[in-house]
Chain A
């Protein structure tokens, strides 16, 4: 099965491990991601001002281009990309005035036919958790994993229509399927502070400490996420938190696709495990 794929601005550089492990693990599950022939940054944030159509143009163009490919779907793994593409698509589908304005601007005739999908949904709905269980030959038994969703994947529920907005479980189901142990904790949909890392560092440090402490208190040994910005905030901030609080316990923060790739026995060097601030390799590959 081939599905058009939108990597987004960060995946060819700072989050290369997410790109490689997503393509690799889905290929191992029989899904070939074919990158769109041309694409731009999606804009990263959905404009919340009603009159800001220009903030939706980039995403609309990506969707209109995806509609020229076969399959009717567009896969994207970064939580921000998924959020923006899904919401702009929702607007184009349901708001005739916005649809007309965006199409006039782009000289397209796109009406929201594309379904933006996330690899977590592909794993569950297209491949199936039982098939993944069969293909996950590497034993991750005993590895305690906390799943972190953050904000953009699940909210607002009416438009994202992704999973339960207060208690999503799709990532946990995948973790169980590949044989690792799920750790339940309270902060899985709490925002990490997002782009505030650039403006109000203290806010991000405080949120990250809350989130990580909540997971480690329940025995988590690793955290997984699908968002390059969550990954960065949760990972990069740990050294700074440790400098202020000597009792702080560090924990590796991975992309869920890296863990999936390990379980599917993809070559370790293809997963980008060396690209994190808190090195996950001692825990995961027994180095």
Chain B
């Protein structure tokens, strides 16, 4: 996962994430508490610890991970991070950069009808807010 930190694209990404999240990902010491606690870890492509490392390195692949969409913002990573990093905000930053470019994963037409008619309203509002542009 080595990256050239001097590359402008990486530096821009690091800066952008910092600005949106207000978090310093460099505090992460890769202990893995977030990954061990994560709700979605088993269906993620990379667990939160590795996403943190990608952010530290300005690895633009972080923007294309399934993990950032699988995060249910349950805040367990944030609650348990021994370095006090609000990891959920970093995940949100990655989503937000995508969403503001029009990339989304939750498409209304793809929600099965049996679910759409049964699910509580709050699920639709929260789902679209987090996963749709």
Contact = CB atoms under 8 A, between A and B. Distances in A.
A163 B116 CA distance: 34
B46 to A, nearest CB: 15
Interface string B8-31: 000000000001111000000000
B1 interface: no
Interface stretch (A65-73, A126-134, A195-203): A195-203
A21 interface: no
A282 to B, nearest CB: 22
Contacts, number: 138
Contact of A199 (B22, B122, B127): B127
A197 to B, nearest CB: 6
Given A156-B75, A196-B40, A203 B70 contact: yes
Interface of B: 19-22, 39-40, 42-43, 69-70, 72-76, 78-79, 86, 88-89, 91-93, 96, 105-106, 111, 115, 118-127, 129-131
9 contacts: A8-B122, A48-B89, A151-B75, A190-B76, A193-B72, A196-B72, A197-B119, A198-B115, A203-B42
Contacts of B40: 193, 196, 200, 203
Contact of B70 (A196, A197, A198, A236): A196
B111 A198 contact: yes
Contacts of A236: 118
A176 interface: no
Contacts of A229: 120, 122-123, 126
B123 A151 contact: no
B125 A9 contact: yes
Contact of A195 (B86, B92, B118, B127): B127
B106 A191 contact: no
A193 B42 CA distance: 12
Contacts of A194: 72-74, 123, 126
Contacts of A55: 129
Nearest to B116: A198
Contacts of B79: 155-157, 165-166
A232 interface: yes
B78 to A, nearest CB: 6
Contacts of A228: 120, 122
